[in-house]
A = this chain, B = another copy of it.
Amino acid sequence: MSATPEGCARELLEVVPLVMRDIRHQMRNQRSTELTVPQFRTLVFVENNSGASLSEVADHMGLTLPSTSKLVDDLLKNGFVTREEQAADRRRVSLTVTLRGRTILDASRKETLRYLSQKLGSANAEEKVAIIQAMKTLRTVFQESKN
């Protein structure tokens, strides 16, 4: 297996959509929680960055402002976040996860992690180390993709 940038790229292009598809399916089939992947990721971000503006969320998600606005709107309708004006700059919005949002997020995360953990149970120690390492590298490589 050639550990060249090209070899890695080829593997990523084949395997990442496979894993993503599975995660998406799993989340969709959570009848109790029902968060989509983007909704889940948005809630995680707002939980970790309470008071975030819409632009900050959009930036983190790699989405346009209108897309993010709609995404947040749905979370709002479900009562998972609150949206207020920032006092210092009234154009800006301040987002916070509600108790309800936190509850649903915790449940969804728990269920998804349980599912993924079970799937990864068959991997041996060395393989798991490689996954952890790979994810660490990929995170740094793909994180600041401000296209």
Interface residues of A (CB under 8 A from B): 1-23, 25, 29, 37, 41, 61-62, 109, 112-113, 116-123, 125, 127-139, 141-143, 145, 147
Given A3-B131, A5-B123, A8-B128; 19 other pairs, CB 8 A cutoff: A3-B129, A4-B128, A5-B121, A9-B113, A9-B116, A11-B139, A13-B112, A13-B116, A15-B135, A15-B138, A16-B23, A17-B23, A17-B37, A17-B41, A18-B139, A25-B62, A119-B141, A127-B134, A131-B137
Residues of B within 8 A of A138 (CB): 15, 18-19, 131
Q: How many copies does the complex hold?
A: 2
Instruction: Tell me the complex Cα distance, A137–B135, Å.
Output: 13
**Would you mind naming 19 contact pairs between A and B with Cβ atoms under 8 Å apart?**
A3-B128, A8-B117, A8-B123, A8-B131, A9-B112, A12-B23, A13-B109, A14-B139, A18-B139, A18-B143, A21-B142, A21-B145, A22-B142, A22-B145, A25-B147, A119-B141, A130-B133, A130-B137, A131-B138
Instruction: Tell me the complex Cα distance, A145–B5, Å.
Output: 28
